[in-house]
């Protein structure tokens, strides 16, 4: 069976039998893979003592063609990133990011998505307090963009005419972005998007952070959740996102 050696990030883990774990890892060369780490709860030789949630390192995966679950032969940890679990706001944000990554990534190489995810966690580690929310919203919008679901923010998502950036606009999740006045008059479902809010999303896409009030953060989280639900989740609830949305602003 072929051996895949790749950079990897642990996005989800669960205990399996008495001594093993099943991990879902984002890899640079093969997208998201489900692997069983046999004896991981007992063996430090093959997996190290820091193979935990959000750990980054080099994975050796024995690929099983035609199977959904592969075998993790070894994992050499480069960064364990315990800071993400040391603060409730950071942890809930990191979990929401992991959940969304598992929805947009598949079993094929997506190096741009992977690199963006690694960068997002590295930035999140340095956040504290309310800035964690803005940083995570930006990371999630870039994740959506890198996965090919970027919203149209400067041109009408229906007729593709420009929409002036200094004006409030109508935003349609179904259409995939802002609408001009004519298209908005015919749209069945839409929400008003203030010009400042639209600019904030543009800033995040350009990797520039944006300061938000508590109310603004709530509105951006809701808009993002609704957009992801429309284009990514296939109707499945985002439980970690919901927890982050409910608790991340406290």
Q: Which CATH number do you get for residue 233?
A: 1.20.1440
Predicted local confidence at residue 40, as pLDDT? 64
Residues 6 or more apart in contact with residue 190 via CB below 8 angstroms: 170, 171, 172, 179, 184
pLDDT digits (tens, 9 = 90+) for 189-237: 889 999 999 999 999 999 887 888 888 999 999 999 999 988 887 778 8
Predicted local confidence at residue 124, as pLDDT? 94
- On the 0-12 / 13-18 / 19+ scale of CB atoms within 10 A, 31 is middle
The residue with greater pLDDT, 49 or 115, is 115
In a domain, 13, yes or no: yes
Last residue of a domain, one of 32, 64, 80: 80
Residues 112, 114, 116, CA angle at the centre, nearest 5°? 70
Predicted local confidence at residue 210, as pLDDT? 81
Last residue of a domain, one of 60, 80, 100: 80
Residue 133 has pLDDT above 80, yes or no: yes
Residue 224 lies in domain: 83-150+190-247
Q: What share of the chain is helix, strand, coil (3-state, %, to 5)?
A: 40, 25, 40
In a domain, 27, yes or no: yes
The structural domain count of the chain equals 2
Last residue of a domain, one of 35, 63, 80: 80
Residue 249's pLDDT band, with cuts at 50, 70 and 90, is: low
Predicted local confidence at residue 68, as pLDDT? 85
Residues 55, 50, 147, CA angle at the centre, nearest 5°? 10
Cβ-contact 221, 245 below 8 angstroms: yes
Predicted local confidence at residue 47, as pLDDT? 62
pLDDT digits (tens, 9 = 90+) for 38-96: 876 565 556 655 578 999 999 999 998 888 899 999 899 999 999 998 889 999 999 99
Shared domain for 23 and 59, answered yes or no, is: yes
Shared domain for 144 and 43, answered yes or no, is: no
Tell me the two tokens of residue 198: 């639209």
């Amino acid at each position: 069976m072929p051996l895949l050696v790749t950079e990897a990030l642990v996005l989800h883990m669960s205990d399996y039998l008495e001594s093993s774990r099943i991990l879902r890892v984002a890899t640079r060369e093969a997208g998201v893979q489900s692997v069983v780490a046999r004896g991981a709860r007992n063996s430090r030789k093959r997996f190290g003592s820091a193979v935990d949630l959000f750990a980054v390192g080099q994975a050796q995966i024995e690929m099983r063609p035609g199977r959904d679950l592969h075998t993790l032969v070894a994992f050499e940890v480069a960064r364990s990133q315990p800071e993400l679990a040391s603060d409730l706001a950071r942890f809930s944000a990191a979990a929401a990011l992991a959940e969304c990554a598992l929805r947009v990534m598949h079993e094929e190489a997506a190096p741009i998505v992977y690199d963006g995810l690694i960068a997002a966690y590295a930035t999140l580690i340095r956040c504290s307090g309310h800035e964690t929310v803005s940083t995570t919203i930006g990371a999630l919008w870039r994740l959506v963009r890198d996965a090919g679901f970027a919203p149209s923010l400067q041109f009408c998502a229906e007729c593709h005419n420009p929409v002036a950036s200094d004006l409030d606009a109508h935003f349609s999740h179904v259409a995939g972005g802002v609408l001009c006045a004519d298209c908005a008059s015919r749209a069945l479902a839409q929400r008003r998007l203030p010009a400042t809010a639209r600019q904030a999303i543009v800033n995040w896409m350009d990797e520039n952070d944006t300061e938000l009030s508590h109310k603004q953060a709530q509105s951006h989280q809701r808009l993002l959740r609704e957009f992801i639900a429309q284009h990514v989740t296939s109707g499945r609830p985002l439980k970690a996102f919901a927890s982050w949305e409910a608790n991340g602003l406290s």
